[in-house]
Structure 1
Amino acid sequence: MQKKFFIILFLVLQSKSALLWAQVEPEEIKLDTDQFQELFYESLLQKGIENYDKAIVALDKASKLKPNDATVSFELGKNYLALKDYKNAYDSFESAAAIDPKNKWFWIGMYDVSYETKNLSQGIAIINKLIEFDPKYKEDLASLYMGTNQFEKALVLIQELDETIGKTDRRELYKSQILSQGKFQNIEISNLISQIEKYPNEESNYLSLIFLYSKNNEEAKAFEIVQKLEKAIPNSEWAQVTLFKTYLDNNDAPKAIKAMNIVLASAKIDTKIKHRILNEFLIFTDINPQYGADLQKAVGYFENDKTVDEAKEVGKFFHVKKQWENAIKYYEISLSNGLGDTIETHLLLLQAHTELRQFDFVFSKAIALVDTFPTQPQFYYYAGLAKNQMKEFKKAKDFLEMGMDYVVENLDLEINFNIQLGEAYNGLGDFKKKEQYFSKANQLLKDKKR
């Protein structure tokens, strides 16, 4: 009986010993935690000095101590991404997100890899997840739709963002790219009509719709929208464009001029529209010259416009109509602005004064221009022509002969030089040279007609 007791006691002690061996001492738990922290901080240190490989080694060791730690997986992803090891980077971020799907930074890591690898389809799937965290990622989604040519989805999203948070230059650029393909324009037209009904005081929707209708040559529809704009926002500068035309057609000059000045002073209205309005008023002024001062004021709005020398164009309009004084006035405005081809403007001005037989001015102007542009034969020509008309034939001959040396491949100018030289020698009594130059001019005229 006593022997049996000892055997039982021995078995109990043996089982307790086995249990003790299976348990981890508190010191050992602390040791593992300390080792994990040391490895983790070592990885951060190595990453900080761009030793990404060493950081990964430290994180791998730490992962063995804590196999399902989302932070370790996230740090692994960042290091792999820095090394451009995109597959491992994505897998690491994905593992982190699987452990803790509510941490948006893990999804951002996956998105960063998709962006770097230009995997736009993958990026769309991830960005839709990120939108659950923050709606601002819808901006990125619009860009991804554009990048994958999903234009209809992009347009619907752009319309939503325009309405909820306002327009941006980037989205407006995207929209213009989409709408350059006609098949999407009906979607935008329907959207704009809806927006005008919802927000009748939002001017930009009217303008976008007017633009689309005009682009599609649907002028009647465009005009209808302008009329709606005018009623909804009477003070709209764009509404004045239509009002100007209406007043002008009704011969109501004071109101047309008022509307025109509002349009020309506006920073919102496209320059092409302003030029068109000025041209319409120019034609009106030709029939109603009493508004000449208003025309001159209107031209003044374009003095800093580098695209078109409006003053010169108005001068040319009057030039064709042989209204020389008006032409001269606008050529001088053009020259004072210093825009465009000033040589052409000087020549037009000299021709207008020549038509008025103001030869003293023509000569003094031409001489000054010869000094400024010594290789331009036209200015010598006008100096010679003026002196011929002033009966100073010797000076005329000298200027014409000097200028002739610069005439190159300009048949009309060569003919004119020969005619004026013939006139000069006729005035000097040298009839032989007179005939020589007139004959040369006649021969050039025949060559021109061939």
Structure 2
Amino acid sequence: MVLIVMGLVFVAALVISLPIVFSLGASAIVGLVMGGYPLQQLGSTIVSASQSWVLLAIPSFIFAGSVMERCGMSSALVELARAMVGWLRGGLGMSVIVVSYFFSDICGSKMAEVSALSSALVEPLKKSGYRAEDAASLIAAGTAMGMLVPPAIFMIVISAVTNQSAVTLFLAGFIPAATIGLCLCILVFIQAHLLGWPKDSRPSFSRLWASFKKAAVPLVIPIVILGGFYIGAFTATEAGAIVALYSLLAAKFYYRNITWKEIGVIAYQSGIMTASVIFLLAVATVFQYILGVSGVPLLFAKILAPLEAYHWTFLLGVALITMVFGMVLEGLPAAVVLIPVVYPIAVKLGINPIHFDIVQTAAVGIGLFLPPMGVGLLMALKFANVGVGQHFKYYWPYLLALFAGLMLIICIPELTLALPRSAGFIK
């Protein structure tokens, strides 16, 4: 009964457009009162849940991503991607996937990435003969793939939720992201020949070299992140501080197109966004407490029991549920509400925690771009001026490519574990 009332309160709060964090908080308070649990649980849980060292990385990466988007680093990465693969048939479409991989590494925000890539690439794609629906699909699918490329804020949160190393999770994401990216590029290559998409440019070493030099400044960041994590030079929190400082110096002294006032505004907005993320995590912990004492984990264990015979069936089942949560509740609420409930089951089955976290990260990324409600997809469609209904018949091949990449990650754990294992973070 308590859970039913909590669910009704949560839905009612969403219907009246109350932010998700307050909707969760309201339903959690109702659950505490109705269940007869001590209300001091609210305060103590919120305080303890927000006191995680790794969460200090969030404001740094949000600030760095905002500064880099504002000063135009995405344009240099777009040009580099076009120089790398533009000479292939459908090369401009492939460049969307390549630049999504690069830009995710420095941006950290899916909405900022959709905005930057749409602004830079929708019109060139249309002018080159790509349908608006395909332009939106490419950006949506590429950004969904980019969820696995650090420093995604979701990775920091899920590392805190499952008590895993954020550095290990960051390292684990590079190869799975490349796997999904390869699936998408194969799809683009096939569609390019079927639909007659043009080549973007001729092969040119001089253009590639010139593009590389222009993109050298933003490309330093993924090299620093990957190299520093691999050799154990710094933690995720320290990496955030380094990237934030580097982005600030690059914006002020290399690009010189951002004022101190704008930097102050970005810092303020980063603080507000950080507060909302951490408050969500803290409030959701109260929600998780009530779910735990109400026996929801045992209920999930019974529901998922038929899938527990094989690791891949369990991971796929949980991933599908996570996608729905990610589509309806967005990424972070999906992580802090669902994943703590199913994570202990995965550990009990002997699934590697890092593998589990990466699969769920990929699932949330896809969920953000699932029709008809995925917030990331809706944003991409807005930039392309395409409706959800007319878009789906062109979008389903991209969804199949995303699912194919997800299945490879699920069925081949070494795609996730090879890099952190070689660095000595896991056995």
TM-score, scaled relative to structure 1: 0.16
Larger radius of gyration: 1
TM-score, scaled relative to structure 2: 0.17
